[in-house]
A and B are shown apart, each in its own frame.
Chain A
């Protein structure tokens, strides 16, 4: 547990000190969402109709953008070899890296999302549920994404392949996440959507680290 926490702390510190990475993915998220009103037009009722989907898709893409950083930097400077050889089981190592990725790259998006939702004319009930749904659903994105990141680590053009591998698997999260927000704005019960999202997240906690560990072992065979 101590080594788990120390890796988590190390990764967080690294991403905090290279502050540009956080602000880059954050500005990517904001820019993508700003593009939609520009593309679709400024009518408020249309914007509020599509706001949930736009924010979720933006979060998906911003998360995808930072996935390759989970292993790439450590792979390049060789510290990943040492971490793999270390005493911590590979699955736990990956879990702590996933936690670090989520906290450093996804949590800032969630924090800023209410402001973007306001700008897209989402109502207040919708915003609360959206933040909740993002909190429950986005760990799945990091967990599934880490499988793709582990498979493509060390590849020259891994980024494009990564998106092809990972995005289809993100679809359930997107659907239930948006469904929860739409149910909330229509004053319908939202618990079932949130429960389904949590179910998917829990499943991903089980499958993600194991599959990613198997994929990572390939690189170090």
Chain B
């Protein structure tokens, strides 16, 4: 494991690999997004209770899913950076953070737009909505701490500490919010659980999840490349200053 990781720790090799992957991710994103939206918006049948509004699900559920997976990915990446001093791992977590925050925001917005016709109000203090909101704040805190240090190495370490503490806390927060929700408003949202998911809905949903993932990969590659090049630029600038 450690040996494998170190092979990719060389930023030059890493750049070469992600540059090779990049066109594929663009193509996959395009195809999957078109296919998923087509199946989701035109082929999938409207829900017998929710009618056409159920189609919001195809943009909402994958966004929520991505929000959580990106946070996990950042935590794992930061842990790798901390344990094996892997230089690219911190940058990879940093590059992923704004994307994750955007997905969280998207999930919140589409969720409240979906909530309006379903619950009659844009915002319900539902357990899932609330934990998404907290997740958004965790993302914002993570991004803020990267900005607050001048030395990127220190910022990387500080951000790693923060996200690892956050990752320990996320399950506790999730659990406590679920608990809180069942205490305060029992089963008003439980009617949301419609019939079991039929394959005509499940297929476009899965396609959309794949599309979102490959979209994430695409944007992440752009951002991580920019981070690595920015780091390299900084080193060269500092060397130039020193040589002067």
Contacts and interface: CB of A to CB of B under 8 A. Distances in A.
A152 to B, nearest CB: 7
Nearest to B147: A161
Nearest to A157: B148
A161 B146 CA distance: 11
Interface string B130-144: 000010011011001
Given A155-B148, A168-B137, A168-B173, A179 B183 contact: yes
Contacts of B175: 172
Nearest to A206: B168
A147 B165 contact: yes
A147 B172 contact: no
A221 interface: yes
Interface residues of A, number: 26
Contacts, number: 70
Interface residues of B, number: 26
A85 interface: no
A49 B234 CA distance: 57
A35 interface: no
A135 interface: no
Contact of A175 (B137, B158, B180): B180
Contacts of B57: none
Interface stretch (A104-112, A113-121, A207-215): A207-215
Interface string B145-159: 100100000100110
Contacts of B140: 164
Contacts of A218: 154, 157-158
20 contacts: A151-B161, A155-B148, A158-B148, A164-B141, A165-B144, A168-B141, A169-B165, A169-B166, A171-B134, A171-B173, A171-B177, A172-B176, A175-B179, A200-B172, A207-B165, A211-B161, A211-B164, A214-B157, A214-B161, A221-B154
Interface of B: 134, 137-138, 140-141, 144-145, 148, 154, 157-158, 161-162, 164-166, 168-169, 172-173, 175-177, 179-180, 183
